[in-house]
Amino acid sequence: MVEALFTLIVFPGFLFLGAAGVLAEFTDRKLYARLQNRQGPPWFQPVADFVKLASKEDIVPAKANHFMFKLVPMLAVTAATVPIMYIPIWSSQALFSFSGDMIVVIYLLTVPTLSFFLGGWFSTSLYSMIGALRTLTQLFAYEVPLFLALLAPAVIAGTWSLSEMSLFYAEHPLLILTNLLGLAVALISIQGKLERTPFDIPEAETEIVGGTFTEYSGRLLALFRMSIDIELVVCCSIVAAVFLPFGLNLGSAVGFVLYVAKVAFVLFLLALMRTVLARFRIEQMVVFCWKYLAPAAFLQLLISVLVRGWVNP
C-alpha cells in the first residue's frame, strides 16, 4: 500500500513527473529563446509561474458548469501522469507492463486533449468554445498518423508491449534505422498533440485570445499548465522509448543518463520546429495531416511489414 502510494505520488508519479515537466518546460523555453536570439527565462521561471498561478484566485464563470469546470483540470493531470508507469525509461523493463500496454498509453494520452476540449466547452465563453472545437478538429487530424507511426516499430518487434519492444530493439539495435520516417511523423504529430506552433491553433492568442483556457485562472489554470508540461515529458519519453531504444541494457545509471540525453534531443527537435514555422490555419492543418502525414505513416508501416518479413520469415 505504502509502496503503491509512493509510486503514484513520488516516484515516478506526480512529484517526479512534475519536476521533470518543469525542467522540460524550462529547457524548451530556453532553447526557443536562444534560437530566437533572446536571453530566455532563468531556470526557476516555470516554478515561479506555477507558484504564482497557484496562489491566485480561481474564478469560475457564472454560466459555466461548476463541477465539470473544476474537475476537468484534475482529470487532465491524472491522465497525463499515468502513462509513465508503462514506459520503459532507463532499463528495458517499465514499472508495470502487460501485453498491449502501448494501446493503453496512447489512449491515456488522448484524455488530456479531450479534457482540454471539455474544459473549453464547459466554460461557455465564445473564445473557449471556438478553441474547444479547434482542439477536437485537430485531434482527428493528428491522432491517426501518430498511432500509425507508433505502430510501425511494434510491427517489427512483433509485440504490443513497450517493455518487450525495447528488449527486442536492445538485441537488434540496427533495426531502429528502418523507423526514421516514423520518427519524423511522430515528432510532427506530437507537436500537434501538445498544441505547439505550427499547430497551436486551439490557443492562437491573436485570434481567439486564450482559446480553450480563456476562462481558466488560478489553481485550475496551473493544473492545466502542469498537465501540458507532464504531457511534454511523457510524449518525449514515448518517442525515446519507441524510436531510440538503444543503451537500455547497460545498467540503470547509464540508462538514466542516456534517457535524459534522448529526451533533451527530442525536446530540441520540437523546439526547433516551433522556432522555424508559422502557425497553420485549422483547415490547412487537417489537409496537411491527411494528405502528407498519414500517407507517410502508411509508407512507414509498409516498410515495417517488409522488414518484419525479412527479419523473421
Partner 1 sequence: MSTDMKVMVPIGPQHPALKEPESFKVMLNGEKIFEVDVRLGYNHRGIEKACEQRSYIQDIYLIERICGICSHSHTTNFVQAVEEIAGIQVPKRGLYIRTIVAELERIHSHLLWLGVAGHEIGFDTLLMYTWRDREVVMDLLAALSGNRVNYGMNTIGGTRRDFTPEQLQEILRTMDVLEDRTKYYIEIASVEPTLIQRLSGVGFLSKEDAMRLGAVGPTGRASGVNYDIRRDDPYAAYSDVQFKVMVNENCDVYGRTLVRVGELMESYSIIRQLVKQMPDGPIAVKAPRRIPVGEAISRYEAPRGEDLHYVKGNGTDKPERVKVRAPTLANLQSVAKSLENNNLADVPITIAAIDPCFSCTDRMIQVDDAVFTWERLRAYGIDWYKSQRGIDFREVKKLPW
Q: Which residues of the shown chain bind partner 1 in the complex (CB under 8 A)?
A: 35-38, 126-127, 130, 133, 197-198, 200-201, 204-209, 275-284
Distance separating alpha carbons of residues 200 and 202, to the nearest angstrom: 6
3 state SS of 84: helix
Q: With respect to partner 1, which residue has the nearer C-beta, 269 or 307? A: 269
Q: With respect to partner 1, which residue has the nearer C-beta, 130 or 220? A: 130
Cβ-based neighbour number of residue 168 at 10 Å:
20
Are 127 and 119 in contact by the 8 Å Cβ rule? The answer is: no
What one-character DSSP code corresponds to residue 57?
A: P
Shortest Å, Cβ 301 to partner 1: 26
Q: With respect to partner 1, which residue has the nearer C-beta, 37 or 312? A: 37
Q: With respect to partner 1, which residue has the nearer C-beta, 225 or 274? A: 274
Check residue 309 and give left, alpha or beta (phi > 0: left; psi -120 to 50: alpha).
alpha
Distance separating alpha carbons of residues 42 and 231, to the nearest angstrom: 22
Q: With respect to partner 1, which residue has the nearer C-beta, 259 or 288? A: 288
Distance separating alpha carbons of residues 257 and 157, to the nearest angstrom: 25
Residues in the chain: 313
Q: How far apart are the first and last CA of the chain?
A: 46
Shortest Å, Cβ 7 to partner 1: 39
Shortest Å, Cβ 205 to partner 1: 5
Shortest Å, Cβ 281 to partner 1: 4
Shortest Å, Cβ 266 to partner 1: 20
Q: With respect to partner 1, which residue has the nearer C-beta, 66 or 281? A: 281
Shortest Å, Cβ 140 to partner 1: 13
Are 251 and 259 in contact by the 8 Å Cβ rule? The answer is: no
